[in-house]
Amino acid sequence: MSLTTGGFNTAVGYLSLRSDTTGQFNAAIGAGTLLANTADENTATGTGALLSNTTGSLNTANGAFALFSNTNGSSNTANGLAAFFSNTTGFENTANGVDVLFSNTEGSNNTGTGTGALFNNTTGGHNTANGSQALYNTTTGVENIALGVSAGSSLTRRHSHYRQ
């Protein structure tokens, strides 16, 4: 930790919170967690969780490589191996499960639960996918709801409700 003015941080693991100079109230547990972080109030547990985060705040990442690419996205929650892996600036998303919202980069206000839910979403927002691979191929869709295994897996338009 390179802390100069920040405080109330916890870092456990090789290179965790390595770049933090001013951040406060962060918890980093695992090798490389919050490696590039300078922001406040982030929690990362698991190797590489929130590794690229710089200015994003109020994020929670639990699982190896969860929110790995996040730079300044805020108020996100990712639970599971590689959940929300590619996010850079998306905010207020929730990903629960392995590879959920994996490809999301800028999409916001999405909720995915189940392995691979919303896997290919990149910039779509306000989507809800519950079930393994639900809304799997939606990339830019907006305001979609899918419930069940593979529900709406090929859906791309907006304002759709799909139940499997």
- Same domain? For 125 and 153 the reply is yes
Q: Is residue 97 part of a domain?
A: no
- Same domain? For 114 and 37 the reply is no
The pLDDT confidence band at residue 86, using thresholds 50, 70 and 90, is very high
- Same domain? For 68 and 146 the reply is no
pLDDT score recorded for residue 13: 97
Q: Is residue 98 part of a domain?
A: no
State pTM to two decimals. 0.94
DSSP codes, 78-142? EESTTTTTT-SS--S-EEESTTTTTT-SS--S-EEESTTTTTT-SS--S-EEESTTTTTT-SS--
Taken in order 71, 30, 42, 119, is the CA torsion positive or negative? positive
Q: Does position 83 have pLDDT exceeding 90, yes or no?
A: yes
- Same domain? For 88 and 150 the reply is no
Q: Domains in the chain: how many in total?
A: 2
The pLDDT confidence band at residue 1, using thresholds 50, 70 and 90, is low
pLDDT score recorded for residue 4: 76
Would you say 98 and 112 are in contact if contact means Cβ atoms under 8 Å apart?
no
The domain containing residue 145 runs over which residues?
110-164
- Same domain? For 147 and 88 the reply is no
- Same domain? For 160 and 131 the reply is yes
